[in-house]
Structure 1
C-alpha cells in the first residue's frame, strides 16, 4: 500500500528564503529538489531537501540522480539535462523504468507538467524563479493514497494553479 506526500521543487537558481518557506508550509514525507539550486550542499535553505545536481550546479556533493523510496513508492529523481527533457520524455521514462520507479521527478525545462506514460508518472514542478510557458512560479505536491496519485501545482504564494489525478500501477 503506497501512502505518501512529496514536495517537489526545481530550478530555484539561488533562492533561499523561498525554499525554507515551502519546507515550513507543507508537512510531507519527503522534500525533493530537482536541481539548479545553485547553492552549496550545506546551505541551510536546503536543510531537509534531497537534492540532485543540475546543469547550473557546481557542487560535487550532489548526485546526478537517485531513487527515493518512501512508503512503498519508488521515485526516480534527476535534473533532466542529461536526458534531453526539453525535446523528449522518452529517455527519462526509460531511465525511470530501468530504476524500477513508478514516478520520475525532474526539472530543467522550467515548464510545469505531469504526465502518465504507461506505468511511470513524470512530474516537472516548473521553476520557482523563472517559469516558462506561464507567469506563475510553480512547485508541485504529490499525494499518493493507495494507487491514486494526485499532483497539485502551486504558485510560490501557495495558491493552487492546477491539479491532476492519475492511477499508478
Structure 2
C-alpha cells in the first residue's frame, strides 16, 4: 500500500496538479489534510480525499474522512478542531473511536510523524508555507507486511527525511 499526504497549500494549485501527475500510477490514494482554500469543483483537487481546514470557508469538504485503503484505516482531518498544536491526545481519542491505523492531519505546517498506542500520526507539513523547517513538504506512506515507512519529500520530489516503523502482527 502506498498513499500520498499533502496539506496547507493555501490556494496554490500547481503543486497539487504536479503531485497528481507524478504519482497517478504509483499511489493507492491521495489525501489532503485541509486548508486548500479551493472548491470541490476545482480540477486540482479532483482525485484527492480532502477535508476542510480552518481557512476553508466553504462547506464543500467534510471536516474529517475515514477511508480504508487495502487493510489500513486512515482518519484524515485538518487538526484545528482537536488542538493538535498543543497535544495529540484529543485526536488520539477520535482515532480510537473510528478504529484508525493511521491519522493524517495538517494545520501546524510542521512536518512530523509519531506512533502512539499503535496508531501512526502523520503531519506532512505544508506544501506552500512550512514552519520550523525551510522545506515545503508532502509525505508518502508505504506499508508492506511488517513494515511501514513515512517519507517526507520537498517540492522537487527529493527525499529529505524518512522514518520506518515495524508493525507487530497480532
Give your verdict on TM over 0.5: yes
Q: How does 1:45-124 map to 2 (within 5 A)?
A: 45-124=44-123
* Structure 2 Cα separation of the partners of residues 92 and 152 of structure 1: 22
TM-aligned CA deviation for residue 15 of structure 1: 0.9
Is the CA contact (8 Å cut-off) linking 1:41 and 1:59 kept in structure 2?
A: no
* Structure 1 Cα separation of the partners of residues 59 and 146 of structure 2: 36
* Structure 2 Cα separation of the partners of residues 18 and 10 of structure 1: 11
**Partner SS for 1:58:** coil
TM-score when normalising by structure 1: 0.96
Matched, 1:34 2:33: yes
Matched, 1:8 2:40: no
2:17 corresponds to which residue? 20
The number of equivalent residue pairs is: 166
Is the CA contact (8 Å cut-off) linking 1:121 and 1:168 kept in structure 2?
A: no
TM-aligned CA deviation for residue 28 of structure 1: 0.3
> Structure 1: which 5+ residue stretches go unaligned?
none
Is the CA contact (8 Å cut-off) linking 1:154 and 1:161 kept in structure 2?
A: yes
> Structure 2: which 5+ residue stretches go unaligned?
none
* Structure 1 Cα separation of the partners of residues 149 and 61 of structure 2: 28
* Structure 2 Cα separation of the partners of residues 162 and 100 of structure 1: 28
TM-aligned CA deviation for residue 30 of structure 1: 0.2
TM-aligned CA deviation for residue 61 of structure 1: 2.1
1:163 corresponds to which residue? 162
* Structure 1 Cα separation of the partners of residues 58 and 167 of structure 2: 34
TM-score when normalising by structure 2: 0.95
